[in-house]
Structure 1
């Protein structure tokens, strides 16, 4: 199993006197602590370091960790330019990029961002799939592309990724339609269901869709996005998580945990909960450290690292299987 962390690129989650240098230092610390990936999220909501810019800064200061998005919103960017940026990141990082994509969802993270980007909200999922198909065509050096939204009789000769097979593209989302699309079209699946049982049933649906499309399910990475806070004081941990949820989403914790995987409590409780998701089939955890500033994020990083020897699967015995970074 691979365990990674989501770095807080939103500047509202930086403490007084903290800045980009401390953010990059947190990424380097995570790699030294044995975590196998670093992810960033993407939005126009709130002041933040742009996702691909953050990964470009992390590439030269890290050596082996996967660098990923969780999730990139392609509708915010022109598709050909985005393909070049992603290929450049893969090239500069030596083939360490993973691109999770999403189409946004209703509320302040959906329609308003589409309006700012001058992209129609309607048919957003079909547009997302076609954007990824266009990226792959550009990375493969295809001469032309003809789809519902994008037409080009002559595609430009653009930057090629480091890997001939190009960066893996994962899909975020857990609706029935998203499960089918993940199995049919994508290289990985990164949802955040609150219940491990829902993860297991969703993964079975992804595998079923892959089989129906004649794909090997082994080529689809089953990942999980989960917010974690380790705290010996369970009530205190929930208070911190509530503050975090309100700062990040404008939602109280009681509402956020209805729609997202959120785990808080003692180290033993957090470990047990993560093991439930592992038993449900998750093989790459992307952990958001629920803490209000970079200093306390670093403290949470250390506490989580103690549960995950050498960046492998969390185990009650402290023994970890070999990591297989995707």
Structure 2
């Protein structure tokens, strides 16, 4: 049987709670997702829109969940001091007994990227070098290093830091989908979490990652092929698109037509959603992280339950694609 994980992005943004929303309901939401059969819970990271901070959310879930992977989608390390971030991540890995996965990203041009670097008092230039060095620093600290010498990050006489539950620390995935990001994923990351609008682009990107991994002397099976996708199950595609348009405008300040040019979005009846997700499974995705298209916590729970009903069929699709 092929391994197939289906996870959910926690609705940590206040725009997803509705007028009566209570942040404390997010912990119960995560526990409900675990009971419903989801195998991972992810939190995203931003300073642009009000939300519960990603690592705080995962720390709250660590002691009250049993088996689900706890992940970031995606963490932007430049928002934090790199040594302090290593400490926080190791702590969550300890609290969860080794269930943490860290997806990282460097931000995007426009209001989702450069202004955050200004707030973080860091230059926008060479952001990808900074990202890769931060990851290398984390891994060195988790292995007990007391110094680090990179092109940008340089530390001497580092005191003993918190060691994670797992030797070497939690897996670290990359969220980028450009050719350069694919090459970097193949060379040094443990997984890939993009959101390409076309499954064909997912397939070609995964092929490029595996070629880069082979060239670097790595095993391709050591890199988890994941997918970040917005999902709305509705009566039909037209009604689903209307709701997702409201969602896109509330979350991104843009219409759905613009959002789906850059991100994977699926909607329609349960069968239609299953067929669309199945195309990504056939393209190689083996860990789906679904962002539920709903703007209040009651509707989020309804979407969670409907998507949970598709989990057996998605796993069957993975088995079929692997034969």
**Do these two structures clear the TM 0.5 threshold for a shared fold by scoring above it?**
yes
1: CA distance, partners of 2:236 / 2:104: 36
Partner of 1:181: 184
Of 14, 30, 34, the residue aligned with 2:17 is: 14
Aligned length: 316
CA distance in 2 between partners of 1:268 and 1:50 (Å):
34
Which residue of 91, 96, 99 maps to 1:96?
99
| Aligned 8 A contact 1:2 1:313 in 2 | no
Structure 1 stretches of at least 4 aligned residues deviating more than 6 Å after TM superposition: none
Cα distance per residue 1:151-191 (max 9 Å; x no partner): 12322210000011310000001101000000001000000
Within 5 Å, give how 1:1-326 maps onto structure 2. Answer: 1-309=4-312, 313-315=314-316
What's the offset of the Cα at 1:314?
4.2
How far apart, CA to CA, are the structure 2 residues paired with 1:92 and 1:271?
A: 35
Structure 2 CA distance for aligned equivalents of residues 156 and 212 of structure 1: 36
CA distance in 1 between partners of 2:14 and 2:241 (Å): 22
Name the CA distance, whole Å, in 2 between partners of 1:55 and 1:91: 12
Counterpart contact for 1:271–1:315, Cα < 8 Å:
no
The answer on whether the counterparts of 2:16 and 2:297 sit within 8 Å (CA) in structure 1 is yes
Q: Using the TM superposition, give the Cα deviation of residue 37 of structure 1 relative to its aligned residue in structure 2, in angstroms.
A: 0.1
Structure 1 runs not aligned, ≥5 long: 322-326
TM-score of the aligned structures, taking structure 2 as reference length: 0.96
Is the Cα contact below 8 Å between 1:275 and 1:314 reproduced in 2?
Answer: no
Give the secondary-structure state (helix, strand or coil) at the position aligned to 1:228: strand
The whole-number CA distance in structure 2 between the counterparts of 1:166 and 1:117 is 25
* Cα deviation digits, residues 185-215 of structure 1 (max 9, x gap): 1000000001110000000000011011111
Identify unmatched segments of 5+ residues in structure 2: none
